[in-house]
Structure 1
Amino acid sequence: MWAPEDTYAIARIDLPRAGTHGWQVRLQRRGVKYGKFFADRQQGGPREAYDAARRWRDELMTRFAAEETQARICRPSARNQSGVVGVSKIRIIAANGTEYWFWQAAWCPAPGERRSIKFSIKRHGDRAAFRLAVEARRDGTSP
């Protein structure tokens, strides 16, 4: 039986009792879900349906890539407690139950990459750990 090579975000759907056969494309970017079903019957067969699904998926991926080159507007959300985009206070609980608090800086140096660094409140104190996280965030996002 024929099997496609590239199935990223493409899944085969075969539901004989429902008479449904085809390829489903599902992607999500920045919280928005995209999906489309390509029926074998409407496309002329399984290979043709797969080719149509792959073309649609590739067009979406091209559009996503173009959007990634545009700068994102970063501003604090209502959930932001630090007042600085990309800086947050986090709690880590060790296996023995001990609680550790940190200020964490997070940023994306390039599309698809994520970096973060934590500063211990116990080691640096709350204010100094926060200041270090803010500086790390600024240094990580500057060109």
Structure 2
Amino acid sequence: MTSESETTASASAAAVNVRVEGLRKRADFLAAARARVAHSRGFVLQARKREAEGPARIGFTCSKKVGNAVARNRAKRRLREVARLDLPGNARPGWDYVLIGRRGATASLDFQQMRHDLQQALCEVHS
């Protein structure tokens, strides 16, 4: 049995979550690149407020500087997982976010550190 306070806490936490969709078009990636930027050890976060309201959107990219295809895919998988865990509670509706992997750091940095860095980067771009 769950207590009444646990039910209330989980209901309020669910109400804060923002729906997140994928960012697909190149033009949206380029628009985010011209907007706000936050740098961290494991990645770069680019963010922009869209004119149209709607769910938050997220895109991921890693250049060939990150490594071969295996290294790039591993880095993007880690970025997707960090975003899946932390973005719904911290993103804002109507915003586009792009996470860019960094050479050597994205694939090897401690996962909890990456989560913490994402939360700080989101605070930075929203301030």
Common fold by TM > 0.5: no
- Bigger proportion of residues as helix: 2
- Bigger proportion of residues as strand: 1
With normalisation by structure 1, the TM-score equals: 0.26
Which structure has the larger Rg? 1
Q: Which has the higher contact order (CA 8 A, sep 6+)?
A: 2
